[in-house]
Amino acid sequence: MRKQFFILGFTLLIITALVYYYLKIGFLLLVILPILLVIGYYNSVQKKHAILRNFPVLGYARYLFELIAPEIQQYFIERSTDGKPFSRNERSLVYQRAKNIDSNTPFGTQLDLNQNHYEGIKHSIFPSVVNEDLPRVWVGGADCKQPYHASLLNISAMSFGSLSENAIMALNKGAQKGHFYHNTGEGGLTEFHLQGGDITWQIGTGYFGCRTAEGTFDAGKFSEKSNLPSVKMIEIKLSQGAKPGHGGVLPAAKNTEQIAKIRGVQPNITIFSPPSHSAFKDSKGLISFIKELRTLSNGKPIGFKLCIGDTAEFESLCIEMIAADCYPDFITVDGAEGGTGAAPLEFSDGVGMPFEPALIFVNKTLIAYKIRDKIRVIGSGKIISGYAVLRAIALGADLCNSARGFMFSLGCIQALRCHNNQCPTGVATQDKMLMKGLVVTDKFERVFHFHKNTLHAANELLAATGKTSFADMDISIFMRGDEFSHLSDLYFPDNLRKHTTLQ
């Protein structure tokens, strides 16, 4: 194509020059063609990009289409039930509830229900009355001196740095209005988190906000911040679903001077949190660390977050809890399908246990060791609807966290640019110009409405089952499509005589 490009280019240039000479038209083309030829010559001799070397100007179209590929996929190709990690229907549901407008849909489901992967709720023919009060759960065991009355749905861990300061402020103000908590993420507790909303302060492997110059845990700094009135709970991050065993990642483009100062690191470089904690190395050390944090915080609820991998390790942890007679006040279970601002693809796609089996395993293991009543379980894995909340509770959670659901409520459009500082909605960026698009006074109201309307939907689903309390939920309220294939004979009328005494 190089040869054809130059033959065609010079031919057009000569023709254009002649037309301009005789007819005095085509001046703009006469200017543009030499520029394209110069660009073409440069690309034909450079050795970095094979596409541009072989297609000196036309090759740029490939990079243009690659740049806008997510938008083409989202707006022109995918159906309403497609889209990953969340479909257009799921995103629209959040947008509507966040805007406090009608989220009902017309004409019936768009899903194919006659499939093995179908899952639905076994409703009662005698539904209960819908509770208008939003559900809450007490968090705090026997050693907790300051138990916390948590909402059933809360904001999951998202750091300042991954998210913009405007996004953090809007989330916290929404949490304040709706009386639910806001998890700081491992990036530390900042001024933007302290807008009046309740806080769960997450302590990651980098100990940002309670870190010595060497990067180890600083008890003094932790004690000072953990005793702030806004801090209601403390969460030790062992791992997260999107990249378990890897540690957090803050790309250099988002590591500004401001964020580096808050975290106690060098600016403008990619920050990798260590894969593991330096304050402890095993189950016994973790239990001791929980005791230490409980003392330093004057008895606030202390828990940890993890993605399940080797199940034997979690069982060993339960054994250590019993031996030490020390229990976390809560355990947050994250699924391998969890979200992240940045992670290696191999970790996102191939490490960790998915949310459903992980939550079932943790719940059943705690029951088996007879310590379930001592610990609250928090479910964190693609919780964006009332159905998802009810499902998590039925699988064994006491309450839920949502990250991407609240991001959608802020205006996130799933542009898939969280990692390169180019989020077009100002949610996941440190670009001041893009950040201005997110107006805190408008978006915090949307955060509030999303929370309220989602929990109201969960209350409606609860009532549909005929139950009056989320504490009565278990997995038996759900039906699955694969059950139908095993029980299909029961649906035929000629089989009824086997199951009834009626003549």
> For the segment 353-381, what is each residue's pLDDT rounded down to a tens digit?
999 999 999 999 999 999 999 999 999 98
Return the HEC string of 130-154.
Answer: CCCCCCEEEECCCCCCCCEEEECEE
Beta-bridged to residue 183, according to DSSP, are 200
Matching residue, tokens 């394209």: 36
DSSP state of 424: T
Q: What is the dihedral of CA 210, 212, 216, 221, to 10 degrees?
A: -30
In a shared domain, residues 34 and 148: no
Helices (H) and strands (E) counted in the chain, each on its own, are: 18, 14
**Burial (Cβ within 10 Å: 0-12, 13-18, ≥19) of residue 387:** middle
pLDDT given at position 103: 80
> Per the structure, how many domains does the chain have?
2
CATH of the domain at 358: 3.20.20.70
Here the tokens at position 348 are 């996102």
* 322 within some domain: yes
Integer Cα distance of 493 and 484 in angstroms: 15
In a shared domain, residues 146 and 57: no
Q: Which residues contact 464 (CB under 8 A, 6 or more apart)?
A: 121, 123, 124, 127
CA distances 166 to 169, 432, 444, Å, are 5, 10, 10
Cβ 253 vs Cβ 420: under 8 Å: yes
Integer Cα distance of 151 and 132 in angstroms: 14
CA distances 118 to 12, 115, 482, Å, are 61, 6, 8
Instruction: Report residues of the chain scoring pLDDT below 70.
Output: 70-71, 75, 341, 483-503
pLDDT tens-digit readout, 81-132: 777 788 888 888 998 999 999 887 777 777 777 777 778 889 999 999 999 9
C-alpha of 334 from chain center: 10
In a shared domain, residues 260 and 150: yes
* 450 within some domain: yes
Cβ 453 vs Cβ 373: under 8 Å: no
Domain that holds residue 45: 2-67
Q: Positive or negative CA dihedral for 417, 262, 280, 229?
A: negative
Comparing C-alpha atoms, which of 474, 313, 312 is closest to residue 390? 474
In a shared domain, residues 162 and 62: no
In a shared domain, residues 56 and 147: no
In a shared domain, residues 469 and 339: yes
Comparing C-alpha atoms, which of 386, 378, 381, 373 is closest to residue 356? 381
Can you spell out the DSSP letters for 66-107? HHTHHHHIIIII--TT--SSS-HHHHHHHHHHHTTS----SS
* 127 within some domain: no
Cβ 366 vs Cβ 372: under 8 Å: yes
pLDDT given at position 496: 47
* 440 within some domain: yes
pLDDT given at position 488: 47
Return the HEC string of 323-371.
Answer: HHCCCCCEEEEECCCCCCCCCCHHHHHHCCCCHHHHHHHHHHHHHHCCC
In a shared domain, residues 219 and 303: yes
Cβ 87 vs Cβ 404: under 8 Å: no
In a shared domain, residues 144 and 61: no
Residue that is last in its domain, among 67, 96, 120? 67
In a shared domain, residues 166 and 251: yes
**Burial (Cβ within 10 Å: 0-12, 13-18, ≥19) of residue 311:** middle
Model-level pTM?
0.83
In a shared domain, residues 412 and 263: yes
Compute how many other C-beta atoms are within 10 angstroms of the C-beta atom of residue 298: 11
* 106 within some domain: no
Phi and psi torsions of 136, nearest 5°: -135, 160
* 495 within some domain: no
Q: How many residues does the chain have?
A: 503
Q: What is the dihedral of CA 129, 131, 136, 137, to 10 degrees?
A: -10
pLDDT given at position 152: 97
Integer Cα distance of 455 and 461 in angstroms: 10
Q: Positive or negative CA dihedral for 279, 283, 286, 292?
A: negative
Cβ 208 vs Cβ 186: under 8 Å: yes
Cβ 158 vs Cβ 464: under 8 Å: no
* 99 within some domain: no
CA distances 412 to 36, 88, 174, Å, are 38, 12, 16
In a shared domain, residues 181 and 276: yes
Q: Given 3-state DSSP classes, what are the helix, strand and coil percentages for the chain, each rounded to the nearest 5?
A: 45, 10, 40
* 121 within some domain: no
Comparing C-alpha atoms, which of 254, 289, 281, 285 is closest to residue 269? 254
pLDDT given at position 109: 78
Q: Of all helices (H) and strands (E), which one includes residue 182?
A: strand 181-183
Cβ 442 vs Cβ 98: under 8 Å: no
pLDDT given at position 321: 97
DSSP state of 423: -
pLDDT given at position 45: 86
In a shared domain, residues 181 and 268: yes
